[in-house]
Amino acid sequence: MSVFELYLSLGLHHIADFKGYDHILFILTLCVVYRLDEWRRVLVLITAFTIGHSLTLVLATLDVVRVDGDVIEFLIPLTIFITALTNLFARKKNVPSWQHYLKYTAALFFGLIHGLGFSNYLRNLLGSEKGLALPLFSFNVGIELGQIIIVTMIMLMTKLVVDVLGMPRREWNVLLSGAGLGVSLVLMAERFPF
């Protein structure tokens, strides 16, 4: 297995690992308000998140930025809480353009936080690597592919539940966002760093 394939696989498995379900939960709360026909917007939204976490992942792995891991572990569920809470206030069927651009900005900023969370894991993996560029790039591509797979599953599940089974879209949003809100509150209480 090449270095590219190894780190691609590690990135893919890291984002899809149910032990790290907080990242999956963030992606769920980020995307639950979108319909399947809005996939382009969602792709841009997830890419904004990836740009944010890629930036801090690189900076933290190269030891340019260092933030207390306990603080980051608290901030990750806080990003879920904020995203889920904003979903609960979404009343329209479609996300308005201004709100979508606000979501881009939030996803980018929240990506910075999540990247710091990924960095401890990656820093441990890269301990023996001589060159960092290819492993970092491969790991980020793996995370992006994993996120696209997760988003696709969420959007297909939403299509099934809302369009096929007939659950009102607002109720589906409240159900999943409410679950994200509840889990994030528990995680914040468990991870409170002070």
Contact 87, 154 (CB under 8 A): no
Q: How far apart are CA 186 and CA 77, in angstroms?
A: 9
Contact 77, 22 (CB under 8 A): yes
Q: How far apart are CA 26 and CA 45, in angstroms?
A: 12
Contact 48, 104 (CB under 8 A): yes
Residue 69: CB atoms within 10 Å: 13
Closest CA to 50 of 143, 156, 169, 157: 143
| Residue-level pLDDT at 3 | 86
Contact 28, 154 (CB under 8 A): yes
| Residue-level pLDDT at 125 | 74
| Residue-level pLDDT at 84 | 96
Q: How far apart are CA 101 and CA 119, in angstroms?
A: 27
Cα angle: 22, vertex 153, 101; to 5 degrees: 70
pLDDT in tens, the chain (194 residues): 898 999 899 888 888 888 878 889 999 999 998 888 888 889 889 989 989 988 998 888 888 888 888 999 999 999 999 999 999 987 666 666 777 788 899 999 999 999 888 787 777 777 666 778 888 889 889 988 998 999 999 999 999 999 999 999 999 999 999 999 999 999 999 999 87
pTM of the predicted model as reported, rounded to 2 decimal places = 0.89
| Residue-level pLDDT at 152 | 92
